[in-house]
Amino acid sequence: MVTLKINGKEHQVDAAEDMPLLWVIRDIIGFTGTKFGCGKGLCGACMVLMDGNAINSCQLPVSLAVGKELITVEGEQENLQRLQKSWEKFNVPQCGFCQSGQLITATALLTSKANPTEEDIHNAMGRNICRCGTYQRIKNAINHSVELKNKG
């Protein structure tokens, strides 16, 4: 039994220590917003926030997530909700499958850098693949989110 704190709530789960956090979240706890894309740390579909950092949950043994603050796309975080609004405004998703991961990565970016440069955006978002090719809208939506925040 391990205890995980996800989106502000504690979950007791019966999982092998080496099971990646992704599968604990999806198959045992049942939050399906966090996606499986590659299982190898290559695509970012499985991103969650762990103590504010975006991590590929397919690569993290669940034992290392114990005692951490975990936030998924279903969770609450000021930047996440602002970004979700911008995502809607810019009609970002196509199939949408990569978007939870994109949003989590962007949330971590804006949490560490309130006013990212284009290069910051490229470096951070370079971890996430979008096969549908929504990158331009993602970039615009991130910039819009920054403007929204700066306007207050």
Partner 1 sequence: MKDVQNVSRRSFIKGIGLASGGLIIASGASLFNSCSVETKELIAFNPNLFVQLNSDGSLILVASRSEMGQGVRTSLTSVIADEMEADWDRVRISQAVGDVNYGDQNTDGSKSVRLLYEEMRKIGAATKAVLIAAAAKKWEIAAEDCHAENHFIFNTQGDKIAFGDLVEIAKTLEVPEEVQLKDPKDFKYIGKYLTSKDVKNLANGSAVFGLDARLEGMKFAAVKRCPVAFGKVVSFDKTAALKIAGVIDVVEIPMIIKPFGPLGGVAVVATNTWAAFKGRDALEVVWDLGDNKAYDSEKYMEEITANVHKKGAVVKSLGDVDQAFEKASKTIESSYQLPHLVHAPMEVPNAVAWVTEGSCEIWAPAQEPQRTRTEVSDFLEISEDNVTVNVTFLGGGFGRKSKPDYVVEAAAISKAINAPVQVVWTREDDIQHSYYHTVASQYMKGGLDENGKVTGWLHRFAFPSIGSTFSPGADEPASWEAASAANVPFEIPNMQFETGKAPAHVRIGWLRSVINIPHGFAINVFADELAHEAGIDPLEFRLNLIGSDRIEETQNDYKYDTARLKHVLKTAAKNAEWGKELPEGHAMGLAVHYSFLSYVASVVEVSVINDKVKVHNIHSVIDCGLAVNKNTITAQMEGAAIFGMSLAFYGKITAKDGAIEQSNFHDYQMIRMPQVPNIHVEIVENSERPTGVGEPGVPVIAPAIVNAIFKASGKRYKNLPLMDYKLV
Q: Which residues bind partner 1 (CB under 8 A)?
A: 16, 19-20, 23, 26-28, 30-40, 42-43, 45, 72-74, 84, 87-89, 91-100, 103, 121-123, 125-126, 128-139
The distance of closest approach from Cβ of residue 148 to partner 1 in the complex, given in angstroms and rounded to an integer, is 15
CA distance 126 to 65: 24
Query: 84 is in the binding site of which of partner 1, ligand FES, none (Cβ under 5 to 8 A by kind)?
Result: partner 1
Q: Which two tokens stand for residue 98?
A: 């990569």
Q: Which stretch binds ligand FES (CB under 6 A): 8-16, 68-76, 94-102, 114-122?
A: 94-102
Does 70 help bind ligand FES (rule: CB under 6 A)? no
Nearest C-alpha neighbor of 112 from the set 52, 31, 69: 52
CA distance 112 to 120: 11
CA distance 68 to 135: 30
The distance of closest approach from Cβ of residue 6 to partner 1 in the complex, given in angstroms and rounded to an integer, is 12
Q: Do residues 46 and 27 lie in contact, with contact meaning Cβ atoms separated by under 8 Å?
A: no
Near ligand FES by CB under 6 A: residue from 96, 112, 120, 139: 96
